Amino acid sequence: MPRLLVRRPSPRLAEGELTHLERAQVDPDLALAQWDQYVDAFRARGWDVLEVDPADEHADGVFIEDAAIVFGDLAVIARSGAPSRRGETATARAAIEAAGIPAVAIEEPGTLDGGDVLKIGRTVYVGQTLRTNAAAIAQLQGLLAPRGWEVVAVPVTRRLHLKSSVTALPDGTVIGYPDAVDDPAAFPTFLAVPEEHGTAVVVLDERTVLMSSDAPETADLFRARGLEVLTTPITEFEKQEGCVTCLSVRLRD
């Protein structure tokens, strides 16, 4: 059974870090309701949902993906380029280790957010961003190369994270909204999507993806490629530069 780590949103969500968006009004009650819908989508597909201890003092704590990345039987604990977020990792690490996955941490001077890491097969694309630096990418290379992973650095300047710009379909096709992608040629295959909120999908299985309900044309594009597409509203998280990948850590890869 695939497993999923999540953390419920803080009532202080609206106070979270912003880089590329103007601050907008966030409804914490609606955010919690949307988070519940997101989690229920996984439960309905047979996922075992593991809830990390709340961290209400951390406005961005719901974006649990940034705290840790799982590579099969190894978890890498991130060290965010935003100092305000570094306190989020302790409870994430505890939950991962409780799930039976050993963990190692990125060390100073490295900085890494999980949202900058895109795994496709045994290739790990890592965004070079305001949150993730060359020192962390080098550490990641040292950790993963002996385990058979290839690490590829990708420049990202147009969005907060690499996975705010691109994600991948089950067949490995990288998808992105053209204005959000620095260099589509960095990827072996690239499919442009017609809506900005269509850039992010969570792969549930080899034929099913979960994505924001705010990209209906993109959903139709994926269905035309033979995929089953589940959609969920995440407007309150999108206001905070979040997407469907940010809200969970998958423990199956």
Q: Residue 126 sits in a domain of what CATH number? A: 3.75.10.10
Is the pTM higher than 0.85? The answer reads yes
- Rounded to whole angstroms, how far apart are CA atoms 118 and 113? 11
Question: Which residue among 58, 197, 243, 246 is the active-site one?
Answer: 246
Report CA-CA distances (Å) from 232 to 16, 66, 117: 22, 20, 23
Burial class (CB in 10 A: 0-12, 13-18, 19+), 107: exposed
Note whether residue 12 is domain-resident: no
161 is catalytic: yes
Range of the domain at 240: 3-7+20-250
Note whether residue 15 is domain-resident: no
Question: Which residue among 58, 161, 197, 243 is the active-site one?
Answer: 161
Note whether residue 90 is domain-resident: yes
Helix (H) or strand (E) holding 51: strand 48-51
Residue 204 has pLDDT above 80, yes or no: yes
Note whether residue 98 is domain-resident: yes
- Rounded to whole angstroms, how far apart are CA atoms 196 and 223? 17
Task: Report the domain count for the chain.
Answer: 1
**Residue position matching structure tokens 């469907």:** 244
20 is catalytic: no
Note whether residue 14 is domain-resident: no
Residue 252 has pLDDT above 80, yes or no: no
Residue 253 has pLDDT above 60, yes or no: no
Note whether residue 180 is domain-resident: yes
**Residue position matching structure tokens 């497993």:** 3
Q: What is the mean pLDDT of residues 124-129?
A: 98
Note whether residue 168 is domain-resident: yes
Note whether residue 13 is domain-resident: no
In this predicted model, what pLDDT tens digit does every residue of 55-102 receive, in sequence order? Answer: 999 999 999 999 999 999 999 999 999 999 999 999 999 999 999 999
